Amino acid sequence: MAPCYILLLLLAILLSTYPALFCTATPENDDFIRTSCGATRYPELCYSTLSPYAADVGNSFPQLVTAALRVTLDGAVSTCGAVRSLARAAPRRMKGSELAAGAVSDCVGNMKDSVDQLKDSMAGPDFAMELGNMQTWVSAALTDEDTCVDGLEGSAMNGKVRDEIRRRVVWVAQLTSNSLALINRL
C-alpha cells in the first residue's frame, strides 16, 4: 500500500506544481488572481504563489480558494517536515536547555495540528455548506502557526535554529492568512 500512496502523492505534487503543462492561462485569469490577491494581507505572496494556477482557476473564486488552500497545505506539510528535522538536530544546538527543547517540540505539535486543520479545510463537493467549517479550520491553523512562533521567542535556543524555524513558520502563516482572507470573501 505504501508504494501506491507514494506514487499518488508524487502525481498530485506534479499536477499541482506544473499546472501549465496541462492548461493555458489567459491574461484575464492572471488579472483575476492579481485583483483577488489585492484583498489579502500579503498580496505579493498571494499572487506569486497562485499565479501558476491561473489556467486552473480561470475566473472562479471557489477554484482560487481551493488553489490557495492547496498551496498553503503544501507549504505547511513542507514546513512541518523541516521543523521536525530541525527539532531532531536542535538538542545538540540548545546547550542543554529543556525550555528551548520544549518550545521546538511544541512547535512541531502545532505544525502537525495546522496540517491536519488545513487538510480538513479542503472543500468537499458542497463548497457553500463547507464554508463555515473552512473558516474555522483555517483560522485554527493560523492560531497554531502563531503559537509556534510565539513559543520560540525568548527561548535559549540557538539563534540560527530559532530564526530558521521562525522564517519557515511565518511564511506558512502568511499563506494561511491569505487563504483565510480569500475564504472570507466568498
Give the pLDDT confidence of 18-40 residue by residue, as tens digits.
544 444 556 777 899 999 999 99
CA 122 to chain centre: 12
Predicted local confidence at residue 1, as pLDDT: 47
Q: Mean pLDDT over residues 159-183, rounded?
A: 91
Give the angle subtended at the CA of 38 by the CAs of 32 and 40, to the nearest 5°: 120
- CA 146, CA 106: separation in Å to the nearest integer? 12
Per-chain mean pLDDT for the chain:
82
- CA 67, CA 69: separation in Å to the nearest integer? 5
Q: How confident is the model at residue 150 (pLDDT cuts 50, 70, 90)?
A: confident
Predicted local confidence at residue 80, as pLDDT: 93
Q: How confident is the model at residue 173 (pLDDT cuts 50, 70, 90)?
A: very high
In this predicted model, what pLDDT tens digit does every residue of 56-67 receive, in sequence order? 999 999 999 999
Predicted local confidence at residue 149, as pLDDT: 87
Q: What percent of the chain has pLDDT over 70?
A: 74
Q: How confident is the model at residue 97 (pLDDT cuts 50, 70, 90)?
A: low
Predicted local confidence at residue 183, as pLDDT: 93
pTM greater than 0.95 (yes/no): no
Higher pLDDT: 53 or 9? It is 53
- CA 92, CA 101: separation in Å to the nearest integer? 10
pLDDT for residue 114 is more than 90: yes
Higher pLDDT: 46 or 128? It is 46
- CA 151, CA 161: separation in Å to the nearest integer? 14
